[in-house]
Amino acid sequence: MDFIDLKKQQGRIREKIDSRIKSVLDHGKYIMGPEVFELEEKLAEYVGVKYCLSCSSGTDALLIPLMAKNIGPGDAVITTPFTYIATAEVISLLGAEPIFVDIYPETYNINPEKINSALESAKVKGLIPKAIIAVDLFGLPARYRLLEKIAKENDLLLLEDAAQGFGGQIRNRKAGSFGHVSSTSFFPAKPLGCYGDGGAIFTDDYEMAQVMQSIRVHGSGKDKYQNIRVGVNGRLDTIQAAILIEKLEIFDDEILLRNKISTYYTKNIISQIKKPFVPRDYISSWAQYSLMAASEQERQETTSMLKDSNIPSMIYYKIPLHLQDVYKNLGHSIGDFPFSEDAAKRIFSLPMHPYLTIQEQNKIIKVLNGLSVNE
Ligand SMILES: Cc1ncc(COP(=O)(O)O)c(C=O)c1O
């Protein structure tokens, strides 16, 4: 059993992907070929925003909007410590300072009610708060109704990190459409993944889209040999765009399949382990199905039991960002963000992908419920 099985998905659409790749090989426009623009149009329509810019990774999809807003030394950006390093790394890369805000213990997403006091502490440090990066962790969109209100009140840019959340939604709004600007990742294991690195940025803001388009290609002006600002090489390869066009065709069906599996897990896992919470009107894209053991030791025992039955599991994330070595300079200590620290000790994720068979699901459930898998 695989934690994420990409082969089964490939089997379903292999011929279409082969023919899309062949057509790129035939026309030979490997950089910014027609598939890139076709994909951007389809993604913008899917998410329901005006502009989509594909780019080279989910990390660049976070970096480019911050660069477009000139975020740099002396600025503070609010974010969660319970996420993948990329979310905070881009802030530091630009010389700004990440200001962490703890998560809700129920959803593992940033708690907007704690942002105001974080803004105050940033100001005490002499920093100017400029933005919030909220993460749709494990596929569940963050609490945007409150986040958008706080961003507006404090004149902050709100950037949605939908690397994991793409395909999720709140009421009729899709992940990728929250805040001023949103980013996603097409890393192969993500809900919508390509066969290499890739990402995309979404916004309704025309001016910002123009600036980000320039930054994506070395700060280009009229063309890439006229340079008007510092930029990056942030383009998505045409071949990856071609692959994504075919994967997008089956994406909604895959989100439904993921939701069916998560519902089955939640209904049938009867052990005391805490199951994921999805607030009313929210839909998760189930990038991960994560459980909370009662203690670090129970997590160790449960994941070993799964391993003994050849069931893979993963821990996202063992170390919250404020306790990572790279952020020692921020001067945080244990106890600063208790819910993130607690989750880091007890959380673990089960195999999750649209093609997990009912037999595989039943086997996982049996092991978790303490039954012999041979029964
Ligand atoms: C929350 C989050 N943000 C950003 C990224 C970065 O995406 P990429 O690996 O495509 O650069 C990831 C990828 O793991 C992620 O999970």
Give pLDDT tens digits for 40-74: 999 999 999 999 999 999 999 999 999 999 999 99
Instruction: Indicate whether residue 161 lines ligand 1 (CB < 6 A).
Output: yes
What is the architecture of the domain spanning 6-249? 3-Layer(aba) Sandwich (3.40)
Question: Locate tokens 């294991």: which residue?
Answer: 189
Q: In this prediction, what percent of the chain has a pLDDT beyond 90?
A: 97
Instruction: Indicate whether residue 59 lines ligand 1 (CB < 6 A).
Output: yes
- CB of 182 closer than 8 Å to CB of 160: yes
Please give the CATH superfamily to which domain 251-368 belongs: Aspartate Aminotransferase, domain 1 (3.90.1150.10)
Average pLDDT over residues 221-248: 96
CA of 86 to the centre of ligand 1 (A): 6
Please report the atom of ligand 1 found closest to the CA of residue 136. Answer: 1
Tell me the pLDDT tens digit for each residue of 291-348. 999 999 999 999 999 999 999 999 999 999 999 999 999 999 999 999 999 999 999 9
pLDDT score of 224: 83
Q: Comparing 158-167, 266-275, 277-286, which segment has the lowest mean pLDDT?
A: 266-275
Q: In this prediction, what percent of the chain has a pLDDT beyond 70?
A: 99
- Structural domain boundaries of the chain? 6-249, 251-368
Q: Of the residues 187, 290, 314, 340, which should be mutated to test ligand 1's pocket, given the most ligand atoms within 8 Å of the CB?
A: 187
Report which of 117, 127, 119, 123 is spatially closest to residue 96, judged by C-alpha positions: 127
Does the pLDDT of residue 272 top 90, yes or no?
A: no
pLDDT score of 372: 58
pLDDT score of 374: 52
Q: Whose CA is nearest to atom 8 of ligand 1?
A: 58
CA of 113 to the centre of ligand 1 (A): 25
Tell me the pLDDT tens digit for each residue of 180-200. 999 999 999 999 999 999 999
List b or e across 30-46, with b for residues whose CB sees 16 or more CB atoms inside 10 angstroms: eebbebbeebbebbbeb
DSSP reduced 3-state for 274: strand
Q: What stretch of H or E contains 238?
A: helix 238-249
Q: Of the residues 164, 197, 285, 314, which should be mutated to test ligand 1's pocket, given the most ligand atoms within 8 Å of the CB?
A: 164
Q: Of the residues 185, 194, 197, 290, which should be mutated to test ligand 1's pocket, given the most ligand atoms within 8 Å of the CB?
A: 185
List b or e across 158-184, with b for residues whose CB sees 16 or more CB atoms inside 10 angstroms: bbbbbbbbbbbbbeeebbbbbbbbbbb
Instruction: Indicate whether residue 57 lines ligand 1 (CB < 6 A).
Output: yes
| R_g (Cα) of the chain, nearest Å | 21
Does the pLDDT of residue 172 top 50, yes or no?
A: yes
pLDDT score of 350: 98
Report which of 96, 229, 104, 221 is spatially closest to residue 159, judged by C-alpha positions: 96
Which residues, 6 or more positions from 202, have their beta carbon under 8 angstroms from its beta carbon?
Answer: 43, 44, 47, 49, 51, 52, 176, 177, 181, 182, 183, 184
Instruction: Indicate whether residue 265 lines ligand 1 (CB < 6 A).
Output: no
Question: pLDDT averaged over the chain?
Answer: 97
CA dihedral 112, 273, 88, 124 (to 10 degrees): 40
Does the pLDDT of residue 134 top 90, yes or no?
A: yes
Count CB-CB contacts under 10 A for residue 274. 15
Does the pLDDT of residue 365 top 90, yes or no?
A: yes
Does the pLDDT of residue 223 top 90, yes or no?
A: no
Q: Whose CA is nearest to atom 7 of ligand 1?
A: 58
Please report the atom of ligand 1 found closest to the CA of residue 137. Answer: 1
Question: Locate tokens 């199951």: which residue?
Answer: 275
